Structure 1
Amino acid sequence: MIGLDNASVAFGAKTIFANVSFTLPVGRSMAVLGPNGRGKTTLLRALLGFQPLKEGRRQAPKIAGYVPQHGASVAKLSGLDVVVMGHAARIGLFGQPGRDDIEAAHQALETVGASKLAELRYDRMSGGQRQMILIARALATGSEALIFDEPTSALDLGNQARTLDLLNLLRARRDKAILFTTHDPNHALAAADDVLLMMPDGHERFGTVDEMIQPAPLSALYDVTMRWVDVEGDDGGKRRAIVPAFAGRKH
């Protein structure tokens, strides 16, 4: 289980967020949405213990699987080396990874469908390939908590789809508490059970996807009119997407 209880963060005299409370149990996935500068990344850092709280408390395991927005290149390390670092975090600063660490890394790569990246140089990978490696590294920690900071922000549409499919696959296993930030409410529809909206007036709203991913709260969140549209999925079935009113081309 991960969560915050009446948590507040301030940088000097500026309050980033205040009195935020939510609980995310193992087996559920939560999306955090909010406008630029509202504090989504700061909230994740507070949850992970990287950012001190001014008030309140956090609940998270000692080790969490964390995927940052941008995976910096790690010179001369293979994909497998990077993933091993996730499992080896449990052995301490001066420990050496062993057979169990390597096996756990291979299993994580297989889970995310990235086994073919094991021997490739991480610093020579594409953005989409690096993202798969970082997700595998988070899985390799063995933590019950997976935390993603805008996991699709630097990806093209194809890699966005693959990342969302993977998030949904991990959600379907129901053995992790999964939290991710995003700017796209359709990502929440695709891979989340619950949603935290960080409203521009400094308040937060927490509820299920069905409650929060609606035109009214999202219009207030982004100060732009939002509408439901019907789209046809790859399987030929009908799906609902939510888009800003400016989307598309006028006839």
Structure 2
Amino acid sequence: MEWVLSDELGLRASLGAAVSWGAAVAMVAGGAAPYIPQYLHIRRNADPDGFSLYVCLALLLANTLRILFWFGKRYEMPLLIQSIIMNITMFIMIHLCVSVQKKNQIIQARERIFTDMERKYFWAWTDFQSYVDCMLVFSVIGATITYFLIGLPIFVETIGFLAVFTEAMIGAPQISKNHQNKSTEGMSLSMVIMWLCGDVFKTVYFLVRSAPPQFWFCGSLQILLDIVILFQVWLYRHKTAAARRARRGD
């Protein structure tokens, strides 16, 4: 009897470890997965205009802050790894968009770079290196401030809140882009659906794993913005369909 009970407990522990490991892997890979269909969509159509690069900015800021937050409050390692992978993913997306925009230029426009310090063209530069330089400056300044103030709990908690709040707002630039175009043409619907599924999973994960309150609160906000974008897909469906027919030459 004791042998059977011990075996059953061992099986439960193994299943629990497998589920925990699977959830961790999903957290690490799931953040970048939604951008695969958007990346393929831009490459296939050679048109990055329907995707807002401010989504990349929001995620780069959020994940850089979340990495800094880890040094003050050691949350789970999968979340830290996810932040690093997300930053790499966003740079890949920016590189694609900048490259496609350059190829689409019929008349060579004036180069706009980070060191020009023109507020009008912030995050609308014409070379990829400018985006890298901007984030390097932000990271160095953020790391320096964190180094000196990491002993203050209120500072650490503020970094954590800013990180997850900024990430929660990644849908806002896309909502603005769709509203401006009165269309969702150029935006991958698969990306948004994967956003929603990932955000629901992520928020539940935060609650189950007792992550800091900032994480699950802002995850809920993220779900709300995903729903707004899906509403825009329905609202602008006729103009989006017309834009697609025009692009195909129908």
Q: Same fold (TM over 0.5)?
A: no
Task: Report the structure, 1 or 2, having the larger helix content.
Answer: 2
Tell me the TM-score normalized by structure 2. Answer: 0.30
The higher radius of gyration belongs to: 2
Task: Report the structure, 1 or 2, having the larger strand content.
Answer: 1
